[in-house]
């Protein structure tokens, strides 16, 4: 499959808070503040609601919005308003506490992946060749200059020469692995595995961030949950309707409604997101449940806790060791309690009274701070928003400079979620596409 995470994700399109990017700029990545990033977002967007100061139109990435939904979703929006949130037609157009339908990377009922938005239009270029079933195994160096890559293919190992530079875009779990296997990483760790060191870079693989949180589920009292629609006799008709008209229950974001809220008392900008779906997922699986339920995913937007990705072997076929270390920070533990309590308060607002039954998960018995933290630690959920493992910046742990060039070598950049110094307050697909857009500008401007 081409397009990486953008081809399998939930298609919610959100960008984060301007201060997230200004924090990057002030912490050692000048050129990555909101004044630099907003033009990238606007240039790549083709927003259905049209161009404003806050969003773009005419770009390659189509963004649509949901026009109609069920009464449960409408009641959720009203519950958010009654809890003090502002309703937003475009969740990206306002930075405060807000609720609304997720903007979506969907066009005419079909997913707009990175491959569809950016690669397909370039597919006719004579200087582009796409190889599938090909695994990059190592970056090849001539001294400290990256001069190409080696790959495993169905036809055997191959080596490719880079006339100008190598761009590593394997994502926050794989890019640090490829760097380490190629000799760029913490020297002591590489030496212990017999990997020849090209450059001692202690930060490669550190600073792994993700949006960890708790999944909450409520029983739905009315016949409004998607679970009912999925098992009703009308299911084949709905499938046909999607195939012919690309409408109906099959075309939508994984989570339908998003809320960005200040759950912590000291929060100066939204520190939590709540993502609501009118169906639920069986715990520990990705399968939807048949019982009518509401799912509320909670996420800590700017976690302090961070983990690592470290190779266990010089063999490229051996997966790295990923240590998430979620909730290792005292602040994060305190905030996860605040978030769960906030979600409970919102879901008990009067507009949802006729719709929601009991809380099934975590369940009212999970009430004390300790019980919430313990459950979240044992059965919390990843946001699959991995970032930070090759961060840009200027401190000792920064792997990249502010033009995404790997420090200590030449001819090599990293362009993916791993470059983020800290996580943005949003799902990461859009922000990573904007990072790639900015990287392309930098490469074209300065070569």
Ligand X SMILES: Cc1cc2nc3c(=O)[nH]c(=O)nc-3n(C[C@H](O)[C@H](O)[C@H](O)COP(=O)(O)OP(=O)(O)OC[C@H]3O[C@@H](n4cnc5c(N)ncnc54)[C@H](O)[C@@H]3O)c2cc1C
CA distance linking residue 82 with residue 346, whole number of Å: 8
For ligand X, give the closer residue by CB, 264 or 316. Answer: 316
Phi, psi of 434 (to 5 degrees): -70, -35
For ligand X, give the closer residue by CB, 38 or 337. Answer: 38
CB of 254 to ligand X, least distance (A): 6
Determine whether 385 is an active site residue: yes
CB of 437 to ligand X, least distance (A): 12
At 414, list the tokens.
Answer: 């990293």
CA atoms within a 13 Å half-sphere pointing along the CA-CB vector of 216 = 29
CB of 350 to ligand X, least distance (A): 30
Residues in contact with ligand X by CB under 6 A are: 4-6, 8-12, 135-136, 169-172, 174, 178, 254, 384-385, 416-417, 427-430, 432
**Among candidates 297, 303, 291, 299, which has minimal Cα distance to 253?**
297
CA distance linking residue 192 with residue 280, whole number of Å: 45
Phi, psi of 97 (to 5 degrees): -70, 125
CB of 7 to ligand X, least distance (A): 8
CB of 356 to ligand X, least distance (A): 24
For ligand X, give the closer residue by CB, 273 or 305. Answer: 273
Collapse the DSSP code of 19 into the 3-class scheme (helix H, G, I; strand E, B; otherwise coil) and give the result: helix
For ligand X, give the closer residue by CB, 78 or 288. Answer: 288
CB 79 within 8 Å of CB 94: no
CB-CB neighbours of 37 under 10 Å: 25
CB of 267 to ligand X, least distance (A): 22
CB-CB neighbours of 444 under 10 Å: 8
Exposed e or buried b per residue across 308-331, where buried means at least 16 C-beta atoms within 10 angstroms of its C-beta: bbbbeebebeeebebebebbeeee
CB of 433 to ligand X, least distance (A): 8
At 407, list the tokens.
Answer: 């420090």
For ligand X, give the closer residue by CB, 336 or 423. Answer: 423
For ligand X, give the closer residue by CB, 174 or 280. Answer: 174
CA distance linking residue 314 with residue 329, whole number of Å: 32
Which of 47, 199, 306, 385 is flagged as catalytic? 385
Chain centroid to CA 114: how far? 13
At 166, list the tokens.
Answer: 């190598």
Question: Could you please report the per-residue DSSP string of 425-437?
Answer: SS-SHHHHHHHHH
For ligand X, give the closer residue by CB, 224 or 429. Answer: 429
**CB-based contacts of 409, cutoff 8 Å, min separation 6:** 141, 144, 145, 146, 184, 198, 199
Strand 156-161 and strand 293-300: pairing? unpaired
CA distance linking residue 360 with residue 376, whole number of Å: 15
Annotated catalytic residues are 385
């Amino acid at each position: 499959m081409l397009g990486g995470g953008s081809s399998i994700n939930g298609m919610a399109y959100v960008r984060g808070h301007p201060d997230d990017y200004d924090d990057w700029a002030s912490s050692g990545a000048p050129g990555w503040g909101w004044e630099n990033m907003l033009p990238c977002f606007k240039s790549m967007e083709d927003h259905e609601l049209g161009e404003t100061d806050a969003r773009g139109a005419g770009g390659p990435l189509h963004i649509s919005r949901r026009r109609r939904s069920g009464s449960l979703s409408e009641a959720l929006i009203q519950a958010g308003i009654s809890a003090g949130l502002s309703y937003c037609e475009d969740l990206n157009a306002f930075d405060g506490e807000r609720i609304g339908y997720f903007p979506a990377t969907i066009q005419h009922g079909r997913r707009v992946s990175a491959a569809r938005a950016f690669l397909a239009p370039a597919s006719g270029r004579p200087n582009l060749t796409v190889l599938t079933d090909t695994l990059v195994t190592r970056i090849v160096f001539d001294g400290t200059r990256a001069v190409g890559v080696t790959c495993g293919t169905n036809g055997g190992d191959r080596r490719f020469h880079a006339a100008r530079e190598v761009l590593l875009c394997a994502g926050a779990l794989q890019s640090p692995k490829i760097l380490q296997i190629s000799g760029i990483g913490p020297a002591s760790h590489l030496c212990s595995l017999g990997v020849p060191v090209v450059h001692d870079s202690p930060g490669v693989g550190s600073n792994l961030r993700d949006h960890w949180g708790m999944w909450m589920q409520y029983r739905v009292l009315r016949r409004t949950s998607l679970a009912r629609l999925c098992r009703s006799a009308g299911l084949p008709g709905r499938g046909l309707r999607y195939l012919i008209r690309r409408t109906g229950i099959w075309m939508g974001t994984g989570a339908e409604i998003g809320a960005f809220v200040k759950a912590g008392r000291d929060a100066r900008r939204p520190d939590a997101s709540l993502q609501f779906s009118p169906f639920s997922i069986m715990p520990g699986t990705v399968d939807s449940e048949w019982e009518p339920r509401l799912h509320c995913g909670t996420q800590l937007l700017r976690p302090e806790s961070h983990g690592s990705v470290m190779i266990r072997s010089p063999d490229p076929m051996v997966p790295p060791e990923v240590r998430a270390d979620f909730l290792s920070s005292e602040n994060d533990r305190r905030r996860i309690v605040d978030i769960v309590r906030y979600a409970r308060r919102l879901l008990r607002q009067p507009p949802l009274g006729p719709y929601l039954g009991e809380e099934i998960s975590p369940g009212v018995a999970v009430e004390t701070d300790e019980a919430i933290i313990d459950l979240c630690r044992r059965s919390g959920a990843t946001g699959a928003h991995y970032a930070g493992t090759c961060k840009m910046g200027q401190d000792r742990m920064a792997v990249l400079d502010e033009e995404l060039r790997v420090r200590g070598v030449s001819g090599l950049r990293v362009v993916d979620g791993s470059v983020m110094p800290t996580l943005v307050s949003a799902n990461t697909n859009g922000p990573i596409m904007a990072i790639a857009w900015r990287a392309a500008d930098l490469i074209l401007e300065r070569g």
